[in-house]
């Protein structure tokens, strides 16, 4: 298709290349695609008139692997999907299997899970903010964001020994008791973090370059969002007040007060504002949670050998990127018959074509950044 386009244009203009339309490849090795995403862009000058995503470079067949592992053996694999939010992935998987087994994690485990998951949301949003700002041309926020993310990763490291692919939770609860100074560490982090968010805000929110690069760029309205299945901060920035932590509470979210930030225009700037505010809300959830961590066991009574009764379950949580769902079918054996992961990045990425049409190539970089995709999860 691209070649014929070129030839026709070339014949008309009498030059070697048609000057009006051009197809270029962005990625898969392009720093601003945040991984190995390849986008074929059809351009008119510098304006995008069409696009196609080519994905699958990181496909590892996670769902196939699941069918050949026991329920516990598969748990660490989910950390490697959205590897910047491993704790959230683990929470979704553990809760889904617990639903399948019809057991519930004890209250203490649920609160600790909530704390760690919210810290993970902050860490994920920080990495997004730093790299997104970097893509758009603001170098400084990256260093600040990495500094704060480091604090969160240190808490993870103290808790379970791992920083990135944590495998922090177990089916039925937790393996590790909270370490002695967990509350203090979280409190210290939250104490300084409010001011730190303000710092990023000062750098970006009123910055005229930032506004110029993000305002009215990549608008996606609520109707399109819902039609395309888009969820998470991207959906909320278009004005839909929907967050699974409120709509269908899991873990311990029903115990805490927090707001769901929404945008109005659904542009890149709104998505930025929504995520910034979400970090503030996550901080508030953490502060409420550490005040009262209930005593008691951290593990429900589940067998050493898990054989969920035959049947199926779908469980979704509000991950940092959007709705992260697990559909698990059991045939009564020790291995799942089928595990389907609903990856928020994969489904959100589908909206890219709609968002970049009519924009310049430089805006494509901003829009890929604002979608906050992780290719490990897109390709699974």
Partner 1 sequence: MADESKAPQSPESSQPDVAGSIPAPSAASAAPSSTVKAATPAPVQLPLDNELSRRYRERFGSAILDALEDRKQSILILDAKHLLEIARYSRDEEKFELLEDYTAVDWPRREKRFDLVAQLYSFTHNTRLRLKILLRADQQPATLVPIWPAANWLEREIFDLFGISFRGHPNLKRILLPDEWQGHPLRKDYDILQQDTAWVRENLGIESGQ
Give the interface with partner 1 as residue ranges (CB under 8 A): 55-56, 59, 61, 63-65, 67-68, 70, 72-73, 99-100, 102, 226-229, 240, 242, 247-248, 301-305, 307, 309-314, 316, 323, 325, 327, 329, 334, 337-338, 340, 342, 346-347, 350, 379-380
- Taking the least distance from each CB to partner 1, the nearer of 211 and 226 is 226
Shortest distance (Å) from residue 149 CB to partner 1:
30
Q: What secondary structure letter does DSSP report for 303?
A: -
Shortest distance (Å) from residue 202 CB to partner 1:
36
Determine the angle formed by the axes of helices 182-204 and 107-136, rounding to 10 degrees. 30
- Taking the least distance from each CB to partner 1, the nearer of 164 and 310 is 310
Do the Cβ atoms of 194 and 115 come closer than 8 Å?
A: no
- Taking the least distance from each CB to partner 1, the nearer of 120 and 330 is 330
- Taking the least distance from each CB to partner 1, the nearer of 24 and 227 is 227
- Taking the least distance from each CB to partner 1, the nearer of 100 and 116 is 100
DSSP H/E element including 127: helix 107-136
- Taking the least distance from each CB to partner 1, the nearer of 70 and 255 is 70
DSSP H/E element including 373: none
Do the Cβ atoms of 374 and 321 come closer than 8 Å?
A: yes
CA distance linking residue 70 with residue 242, whole number of Å: 34
- Taking the least distance from each CB to partner 1, the nearer of 61 and 212 is 61
Do the Cβ atoms of 57 and 38 come closer than 8 Å?
A: yes
CA distance linking residue 216 with residue 220, whole number of Å: 10
Q: Which of 92, 84, 94 is nearest to 121 (CA)?
A: 84
Structure tokens at 27: 């990625």
DSSP string, 6-56: HHHHHHHHTSSS-SS-EEEEE-SS-GGGSSS-EEEEEEETTEEEEEEEE--
Neighbours of 337 (CB within 10 A): 14
- Taking the least distance from each CB to partner 1, the nearer of 287 and 313 is 313
Shortest distance (Å) from residue 299 CB to partner 1:
8
Shortest distance (Å) from residue 225 CB to partner 1:
9
Shortest distance (Å) from residue 314 CB to partner 1:
5
Shortest distance (Å) from residue 236 CB to partner 1:
13
- Taking the least distance from each CB to partner 1, the nearer of 25 and 350 is 350
Reported for 244-249, long-range contacts at CB under 8 A and 24+ positions apart, including other chains, are 244/316, 244/317, 244/318, 244/323, 245/317, 245/318, 248/316
CA distance linking residue 250 with residue 260, whole number of Å: 16
Shortest distance (Å) from residue 87 CB to partner 1:
22
Shortest distance (Å) from residue 42 CB to partner 1:
15
CA distance linking residue 110 with residue 118, whole number of Å: 12
* Residue located via tokens 């278009």: 238
Shortest distance (Å) from residue 61 CB to partner 1:
6
């Amino acid at each position: 298709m691209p070649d014929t386009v070129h030839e026709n244009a070339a014949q008309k203009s009498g030059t070697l290349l048609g000057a009006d339309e051009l197809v270029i490849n962005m990625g898969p090795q392009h720093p601003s695609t945040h991984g190995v995403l390849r986008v074929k862009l059809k351009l008119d000058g510098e304006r995008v008139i069409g696009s196609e995503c080519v994905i699958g470079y990181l496909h590892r067949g996670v769902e196939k692997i699941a069918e050949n592992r026991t329920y516990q053996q598969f748990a660490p694999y989910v950390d490697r999907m959205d590897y910047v939010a491993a704790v959230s992935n683990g929470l979704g998987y553990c809760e889904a299997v617990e639903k399948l087994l019809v057991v519930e994690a004890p209250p203490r485990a649920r609160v600790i899970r909530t704390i760690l998951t919210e810290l993970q949301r902050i860490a994920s949003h920080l990495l997004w903010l730093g790299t997104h700002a970097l893509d758009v041309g603001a170098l400084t926020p990256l260093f600040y964001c990495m500094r704060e993310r480091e604090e969160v990763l240190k808490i993870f490291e103290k808790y379970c020994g791992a920083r990135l692919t944590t495998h922090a939770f177990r089916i039925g609860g937790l393996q590790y008791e909270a370490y002695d100074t967990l509350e203090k560490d979280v409190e210290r982090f939250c104490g300084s973090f409010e001011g730190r968010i303000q710092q990023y805000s000062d750098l970006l929110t009123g910055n005229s370059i930032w506004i110029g690069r993000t305002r009215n760029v990549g608008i996606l309205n609520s109707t399109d969002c819902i039609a395309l299945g888009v969820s998470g901060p991207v959906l909320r920035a278009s004005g839909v007040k929907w967050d699974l932590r409120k709509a269908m509470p899991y873990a311990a979210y029903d115990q805490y007060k927090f707001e769901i930030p929404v945008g109005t225009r659904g542009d890149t700037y709104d998505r930025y504002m929504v995520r910034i505010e979400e970090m503030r809300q996550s901080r508030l959830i953490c502060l409420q949670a550490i005040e009262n961590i209930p005593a008691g066991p951290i593990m429900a009574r589940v067998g050493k050998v898990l054989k969920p009764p035959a049947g199926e379950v779908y469980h979704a949580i509000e991950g940092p990127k959007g709705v992260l769902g697990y559909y698990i079918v059991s045939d009564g054996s020790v291995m799942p018959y089928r595990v389907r992961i609903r990856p928020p990045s994969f489904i959100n990425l589908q909206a890219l074509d709609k968002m970049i049409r009519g924009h310049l190539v430089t805006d494509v970089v901003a829009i890929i950044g604002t979608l906050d995709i992780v290719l490990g999860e897109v390709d699974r």
